[in-house]
Structures are given as C-alpha cells and as structure tokens.
C-alpha cells in the first residue's frame, strides 16, 4: 500500500515537473519568435489599405526602445516606409521647412493613404537610450510623416500587429541600459524624463514584446495562462494519487 502511495507522489511530481518545463519552453519560444534587428530600411503594408493614426506611444524595454503607431479603425496595415539616416535633420511636408530633432541620427517614417486623428501626440521627447524625439513632420494629401531622432544610427526591427492594427518600431539598445532608463519613463516625471514622455496610456518596461500594449505591472499578461496550466496539473496529480489509493484498498 505504501508502495502505491510513493508511486502516486512520484507520478504527481513528474506531472508538475513536465508542466513546468512546458511553461518555460513556451515563454522562451515567445521571446525567440521576434525577428532580428537589421541595419536596413524597412517597408511594408498594403497600398489599398487606409489608416488613421490615433495613438503614438514610446517606451523602453530591455534591449530596445519601442515606438507604437496605432490605427484602431483600420483592418489592414497601410503602406509604410522607414528610411534610416545619419543625421536628425528632417524636412516638413509639404512646406519644405527644415527641422532638427534631438539626437545625432534618425529615421523618417512615411505612412501613405493615412491621416491623423485630432489630439494625437505630435511631438514626444522621451529621451530614451536611442529614441530621443518623435515628431510629426507631415500630414498632406493623405501622406503622414514622422521624424524619429535617435542617439546613434541604431539597428531596427518592425512588427505589424492586429487587433487593433499597430505598427511597432523597435530600435536596438544595449541590454544593460534598461535599469538606468526605464524606471523614470514608468514613474513620475523627473529631470531625465519630462512631461513630454507621457502618452495616451501609462507605459512600463514590462510591456509584452508581442503586443505593443502596456502590461499591468502587478499581473503580467501571461499570468492567467500559467495559473490555469498549473491548476490543471495539480488536479491531474490529485486524481492520480486518489486513483492509486482506491486501487491499493482493493
């Protein structure tokens, strides 16, 4: 009888250990699914899709600064073009007026067949490790342009997300820059991160890499799934022990 009990506990422990390994693998896979950073221009979207920019958010994550352009009324990503440049000097559309943003390098983002909702942020100065300023530099004949001032000519990656449609631009930073810079961006304004870092929603360095949405610091987005899996594993282990006990009594 005691042998059956020992076997039951061993099976339950094995079940929980297997589940823990599966959860670890799931978390690692989600992080590895992101594309690599490349030091090239980017383009994408659909020429037939129309978009209205309603939200512009900037936040720092471990290893990259993230810029999110939101199109909540669009069902598809409008056509876009990212051109990297070695200066932070831009030209406004369509006036031709020169403008210099904070930083020593930049990215020009052009969105075609698009416009901007009234009240959308037009000039953000988050002063992050790489993204120093994001300014609207054009909105003419359904062509929207943004200038992104960078500290250095860093490599980038681009994500196209849906539900709602969002264009995510990640600018690579040193991994060890997160602790020194992310805290002021998610806390109260300070001398390093002034009021201009505030966006339409609070941002934190715990944002999920695959969503572009701010995560709740008290409860990461993956928390409910992990709890559910662990709960199912616990129930399975309990049923296994109960079954072995009944078998031992016969």
Which residues form the domain of 58?
Answer: 35-197
239 and 148, same structural domain? no
Q: What is the pTM of this model?
A: 0.63
177 and 94, same structural domain? yes
Across the chain, mean pLDDT equals 76
137 three-class SS: strand
203: in domain: no
* Residues facing residue 167 across a β-bridge: 69, 160
Q: How far is CA 135 from CA 166, 203, 235, in A?
A: 18, 19, 54
Indicate if the pLDDT at residue 184 is higher than 70: no
What is the Cα–Cα distance from 28 to 25, expressed in whole angstroms? 5
For residue 23, give the H/E element and its range. helix 2-32
pLDDT of residue 225: 59
107 and 22, same structural domain? no
116 and 85, same structural domain? yes
Task: Compute the half-sphere exposure of residue 67: CA atoms within 13 Å on the CB side of its CA.
Answer: 30
Tens digits of per-residue pLDDT, 113-159?
Answer: 999 999 999 999 999 999 999 999 999 999 999 999 999 999 999 99
Question: What is the C-alpha radius of gyration for the chain, rounded to an integer number of angstroms?
Answer: 24
pLDDT of residue 191: 32
230: in domain: yes
57: in domain: yes
40: in domain: yes
Tens digits of per-residue pLDDT, 75-113?
Answer: 899 999 999 999 999 999 988 999 999 999 999 999 999
103 and 127, same structural domain? yes
229 and 152, same structural domain? no
């Amino acid at each position: 009888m005691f042998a059956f009990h020992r076997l039951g506990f061993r099976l339950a422990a094995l079940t929980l250990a297997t589940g823990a390994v599966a959860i670890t693998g799931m978390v690692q896979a989600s992080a590895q699914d992101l594309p690599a950073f490349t030091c090239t221009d980017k383009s994408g979207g659909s020429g037939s899709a129309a978009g209205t920019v309603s939200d512009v958010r900037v936040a720092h994550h471990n290893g990259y600064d993230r810029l999110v352009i939101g199109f909540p009324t669009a069902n598809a990503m409008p056509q876009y073009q990212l051109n990297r440049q070695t200066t932070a000097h831009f030209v406004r559309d369509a006036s031709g007026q020169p403008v210099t943003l904070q930083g020593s390098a930049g990215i020009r983002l052009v969105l075609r067949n698009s416009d901007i909702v009234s009240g959308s942020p037009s000039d953000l100065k988050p002063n992050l490790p790489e993204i120093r300023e994001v300014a609207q530099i054009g909105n003419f004949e359904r062509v929207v342009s943004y200038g992104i001032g960078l500290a250095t000519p860093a490599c980038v990656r681009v994500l196209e997300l849906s539900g709602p449609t969002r264009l995510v631009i990640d600018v690579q930073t040193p991994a060890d820059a997160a602790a020194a810079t992310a805290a002021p961006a998610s806390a109260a304004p300070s001398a390093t991160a002034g009021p201009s870092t505030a966006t339409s929603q609070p941002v934190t360095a715990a944002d999920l890499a695959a969503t572009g949405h701010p995560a709740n610091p008290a409860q990461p987005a993956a928390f409910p799934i992990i709890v559910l899996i662990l709960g199912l594993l616990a129930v399975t282990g309990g049923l296994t022990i109960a079954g072995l006990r009944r078998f031992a009594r016969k």
